[in-house]
Amino acid sequence: MISILLVEDDAWLRELYGQALERLKDVSMEYAESAGAALKILDSRSVDLIILDIFLDTHSGVELLHELASYNDTRLTPVVILSAVSESDFGMDHKRWGQYGVVKYLYKPSTKPQDLVNAVELHFSKRTTKGDI
Amino acid sequence: MRDEGITRHSQQLLAGIAHELKTPLTLISGLSAELQEPTLASRQFQQYVQRIQFSSDRLIGLVDSILRGYELEQEMLELHFEPINAELIMDEVAHELEPHAKKQAQLLAVRSKQKSTIIADRGCLHAVLFNLLDNAIKYSNPESTIEMEARCRSGKAQLVVKDYGAGIKKSELKKLFSQFGRVQRPVPQWASTTGLGLYIARQLTEAMNGTLDLSRRRNGTSFLVNLQLSHQLSLFEL
């Protein structure tokens, strides 16, 4: 079973993307509406993938990325960024993606739920091919 | 230097507008795509259709208020003053934004101590209340109540949008008001991060000869829209 944590502050978007991902076989979803709620979940269990919105209410997804990279048990967790900020505006150099575990950047307004599902499937199929899981 | 300022102003304004519109647009796009999913249960289908409808309405509300703000800046806005029942227009706005509040299990409560009729431009007043309530919903705690109230203060009508959120820090408050107060003001820094709503709401309120004030409370913020009553001396319509 693959576990995915979806961090998204808009309840309807969380539900929309989450329900599409739940259609995947052998996937168990966890949800967090804020960076704080995500850290609470990650304190108690590890996940195989984090899907992260960048603009969150209290502290931003960028701060969460930094925190995740600073802890031994989360620094290797792959992250898909799902953001309303375009990749060029976000401005993180691809060379630094690895440092924060970022494996994919998706621009939210043009990402249909099925696009996210496809990206997640592709990520895990690559990892399976490499023998990571 | 002035041109540079205007360009930066325009860029900030555009960035703020674009960001505001992205959430409802993303929802409309994503939900519409999911309607074609064959495994979608009929109950969910209905729910998604309602959410598309609401997101479209919210988008229209946001675009409408942005356009009014723009027209005002360009001195193109024509105001049509008329008597308006304060409670009814608050009810109308609350009804429009109720699904937005329900997302976070928030409750909207509209109350009025007296029936008051105010003199305002209907479209502008709607945009002001829409922005204030939209903002309150966005920054209030989940499961909290957001109150709207019409009352009378010092011979004027006061429409209140009261939230129970994290509140605004004193330092932020000073910045908020100094930025508001400028004549040739750029879009304030916070507008692109906390939304254009307050900025536009204040502009439109002032255009209607009113004032928009803010009252900090320990457990949240109250926005106070002060406008003229329809009868200066006979304050309430019974």
For the record, the structure tokens of B124 come out as 């502008």
> What interhelical angle do B86-102 and B122-139 show, nearest 10?
30
Q: Which residue has the higher pLDDT, B190 or A131?
A: A131
Per-residue pLDDT tens over the stretch B10-44: 666 677 677 778 889 999 999 999 999 999 999 99
Q: Which of A58-62, A95-99, B183-187, B222-226 has the lowest mean pLDDT?
A: B183-187
Interchain pair B34, A16: CB under 8 A: yes
Averaged over A75-103, what is the pLDDT? 84
Q: Which CATH number do you get for residue B84?
A: 3.30.565.10
Mind telling me how many Å the CA of A11 is from chain B's nearest CA? 6
Longest CA span, chain A = 38
Query: Do the domain assignments include residue B32?
Result: yes
CA distance B47 to B34: 11
Per-residue pLDDT tens over the stretch B36-75: 999 999 999 999 999 999 999 989 988 888 888 888 878 8
Averaged over B219-231, what is the pLDDT? 87
Q: Does residue A30 register a pLDDT over 80? A: yes
Chain A window 35-54: which residues touch B at a Cβ cutoff of 8 Å? none
- B184-to-B3, B6, B177, B211 alpha-carbon distances in Å: 13, 10, 14, 18
* Structure confidence at residue A56 (pLDDT): 60
Alpha helices for chain B (secondary structure H): 2-35, 42-73, 86-102, 122-139, 170-181, 189-194, 197-207
Query: Do the domain assignments include residue B237?
Result: no
Which of B116, B236, B215 has the alpha carbon at shortest distance from B173? B215
Q: Which residue has the higher pLDDT, B18 or A102?
A: A102
Residue with tokens 């536009």: B200
Query: Do the domain assignments include residue B55?
Result: yes
Which chain A residue has its CA at the smallest distance from B26's CA? A109
Q: DSSP letter string over A69-122?
A: HHSTTTTTS-EEEEESS-HHHH---HHHHGGGTEEEEEEGGG--HHHHHHHHHH
Task: Work out the pLDDT band at A132, boundaries 50, 70, 90.
Answer: low
Task: Work out the pLDDT band at B192, boundaries 50, 70, 90.
Answer: very low
Task: Work out the pLDDT band at A61, boundaries 50, 70, 90.
Answer: confident
The parent domain of residue B201 ranges over 2-227
Averaged over B181-193, what is the pLDDT? 35
* Structure confidence at residue B196 (pLDDT): 66
Mind telling me how many Å the CA of B178 is from chain A's nearest CA? 24
Q: How many structural domains compose chain A?
A: 1
Q: List CB contacts (< 8 A) between A84 and chain B.
A: 19, 22-23, 26
Q: Does A60 touch chain B if contact means CB atoms closer than 8 Å?
A: no
Q: Does residue A14 register a pLDDT over 50? A: yes
Which positions ≥6 away from B161 have C-beta within 8 Å?
B129, B132, B133, B136, B146, B147, B148, B222, B223, B225
Which of A15, A11, A17 has the alpha carbon at shortest distance from B103? A11
Q: List CB contacts (< 8 A) between B30 and chain A.
A: 13, 16-17, 111-113
Task: Work out the pLDDT band at A41, boundaries 50, 70, 90.
Answer: very high
CA-CA-CA-CA torsion sign (A83, A86, A89, A90) = positive
Mean predicted lDDT score pLDDT of chain B: 81
Chain A window 85-124: which residues touch B at a Cβ cutoff of 8 Å? 108-114
Three-point CA angle B11, A34, B22, nearest 5°: 35
Which candidate from B19, B30, B139 shows the least CB-CB separation from A84?
A: B19
* Structure confidence at residue B7 (pLDDT): 66
Q: Does B47 touch chain A if contact means CB atoms closer than 8 Å?
A: no
* Structure confidence at residue B179 (pLDDT): 36
Interchain pair B103, A33: CB under 8 A: no
The parent domain of residue A37 ranges over 2-130
Q: Which CATH number do you get for residue A29?
A: 3.40.50.2300
Coil, helix or strand for B110? strand
Query: Do the domain assignments include residue B235?
Result: no
CA distance B57 to B25: 11
Averaged over B114-137, what is the pLDDT? 90
Query: Do the domain assignments include residue B118?
Result: yes
- Return the percentage of chain B with pLDDT > 70, whole number: 79
Task: Work out the pLDDT band at B8, boundaries 50, 70, 90.
Answer: low
Which candidate from B25, B37, B51 shows the least CB-CB separation from A12?
A: B51
Task: Work out the pLDDT band at A121, boundaries 50, 70, 90.
Answer: very high
B106 phi-psi bin (left φ>0, alpha ψ -120 to 50, beta other) = beta
* Structure confidence at residue B235 (pLDDT): 42
Query: Do the domain assignments include residue B23?
Result: yes
Query: Do the domain assignments include residue B159?
Result: yes
Q: How many structural domains compose chain B?
A: 1
As beta bridge partners, residue B150 has: B112, B159
- pTM (2 decimals)? 0.77
CB A35 within 8 A of CB A59: yes
Task: Work out the pLDDT band at B162, boundaries 50, 70, 90.
Answer: very high
Q: Which residue has the higher pLDDT, A84 or B210?
A: B210
Q: List CB contacts (< 8 A) between A112 and chain B.
A: 29-30, 33-34
- Return the percentage of chain B with pLDDT > 90, whole number: 43
* Structure confidence at residue B180 (pLDDT): 35
Amino acid at B93: V
Q: Does B31 touch chain A if contact means CB atoms closer than 8 Å?
A: yes
Mean predicted lDDT score pLDDT of chain A: 87
